Amino acid sequence: MSFIDGSAVNVILPILQRDFAATAADVQWVVEGYALFLAALILLGGSLGDIYGRKRMFTVGVAIFAVASLGCAMASRIEVLIAARCIQGIGGALMVPESLALISANFSGAERGRAIGTWSAFASITGAVGPILGGYLAQHASWRWVFLLNLPLALAVVVICWLGFADSRDDAAPRRIDIAGSVLATLSLGACTYGLIRSQGGAFDVIGVATIGAGVLLGAAFVWLERHVAAPMLPPGLFRSRTFTAANVYTLLLYATLGGSLYFVPFVLIDVQHYTPSAAGASFVPFIALQFALARWSGGLIARFGARAPLVIGAVFAALGFVAFALPGEGGSYWTTYFPAVVLLGIGGVFFVAPLTTTVFNAVSTEESGTASGVNNAVARTAGLLAIAAFGIVLSGAFAQRFNAEISGARLSPQTIGVVEDHRGQLFAGGVPPEIKASDRPLVAQVVRDSYLAGFRAVMVVSVVISLMAAALAAAFIPGRPRARA
């Protein structure tokens, strides 16, 4: 459910923008609302599973996710859709960490790596179905069916869960819940995200900067609280492990590039390159196919070669993929433009997805697996949450520079010039407002496409730099293959 929803929603964002006449900020909040509550509460979700039972919390999360999905499907305004997505995030905060924690509790050693690889393979199947199905439904029926699909899946998951395996928990876990920490984490991430999105206008925004500052202070308060509260949802003791700390910083860097940059890909494919929603959804099938075909193999890489080599190789291939994404201009065949980029990124994912998860679990005890899973997932979700908003600043800056340069020399009617000034948010999302005169529309549409492509390339360049930073971190701080004792 989580992988289908995450991949399908990204594909339908350009359709949502048109149907609701939404601004770039509105469309971003459709993704960020879900990611905010998922990232902020996923630590609490892992702790709740350790205390009350991982299977129990998993099924509760599935139920919340399903009810919120119904709310998304029935949304009549963009604000209602955003609110329902926030509730989906609460359900996801219980589902996601418990799924891996259940695996970790039932497998150990090399079998754990292969089990996680199998989990990744099945996640890849659903991840492949999501964008294709989402694009097809948006093109031929309605984007609302993307969310309605979760209802029968939820029923099947609950039945399989209760019939398939026993529950597990950490009997030594404290019976207290860190409510204050959850509130501070949510407020901190929410303030930072709001401030970053608000700062995408180009001009200096006092409220945006002040909100980011408040978010940083709230984050500092969260860290202080976790060091002094009796039962923290983010136990500081986990970070005594150098490997655990390095793996999470690596996660922060690499998943920032993935979540932040790939958010903008559907807009480029649909609004700039004129792909149909179905074709845009199918464009990432090679990435998913590589994950599925090689996930179990990659899950066993650590046992053979250690963690360092796969993680370095994965980050380097990811950087090459982002370089390839930055190269195409407008037009051209998919097979010579974006296919090579998707393949390079898919090869990178093969080397870092399952090995990274295994590295995190191997760095902690089985009793801490639920919390460790929550921490690593929280880091990954937080990286994507903040990166989408931060990369939006990069894209909007490059977009505005190119747009202003081209539009200033264009011969447009006074009416069109007024519409362009009043609807910058909609233009920045890749759309052309219907109020623009028909005679001016082709020119404005071309300038928007050129400007969005320039902003997209800037985002990809930033992603290359961050990916190489992740590779350097893994080379320096992640352990290699342990030497055999004499």
In contact, 385 and 32? CB cutoff 8 Å:
yes
Mean pLDDT score, 332-339: 94
Mean pLDDT score, 407-434: 74
* 3-class secondary-structure state, position 480: strand
The torsion of the CA quartet 310, 343, 17, 254, rounded to 10 degrees, works out to 20
Mean pLDDT score, 269-281: 90
Burial label, 414 (beta-carbon count in 10 A; 0-12, 13-18, 19+): exposed
- pLDDT reading at 350 higher than 60: yes
Question: pTM for the whole thing?
Answer: 0.86
Q: Picking from 16-20, 366-370, 418-422, which range would have the lowest pLDDT averaged per residue?
A: 366-370
On the CB side of 298, how many CA atoms lie within 13 Å of its CA?
A: 30
The most confident of the ranges 73-82, 134-143, 158-167 is 73-82
In contact, 132 and 9? CB cutoff 8 Å:
no
Residue range 198-208, pLDDT digits in tens:
888 766 789 99
- pLDDT reading at 484 higher than 60: no
Residue range 128-151, pLDDT digits in tens:
778 888 888 888 889 999 999 899
Average of per-residue pLDDT values in the chain: 86
Residue range 214-252, pLDDT digits in tens:
999 999 999 999 998 887 878 888 888 888 999 999 999
Residue (of 308, 315, 310, 281) closest to 295 by Cα position? 310
Q: How confident is the model at residue 485 (pLDDT cuts 50, 70, 90)?
A: very low
Q: What is the DSSP string of 169-197?
A: --TTS-S---HHHHHHHHHHHHHHHHHHH
Q: How confident is the model at residue 464 (pLDDT cuts 50, 70, 90)?
A: very high
Q: What pLDDT was estimated at residue 404?
A: 83
The two tokens of residue 31 are 């993704």
Residue range 174-188, pLDDT digits in tens:
677 888 999 999 999
Q: What pLDDT was estimated at residue 203?
A: 67
Q: What pLDDT was estimated at residue 486?
A: 39
The CA distances from residue 225 to 32, 182, 183, 194, 234, in Å, are 25, 11, 11, 23, 10
The two tokens of residue 370 are 């639920």
The terminus-to-terminus CA distance of the chain in angstroms comes to 49
Q: Does domain 2-178+231-400+452-477 have CATH number 1.20.1250.20?
A: yes
Residue range 437-462, pLDDT digits in tens:
777 888 888 888 899 999 999 999 99
Q: What pLDDT was estimated at residue 124?
A: 67
The two tokens of residue 380 are 């990954």
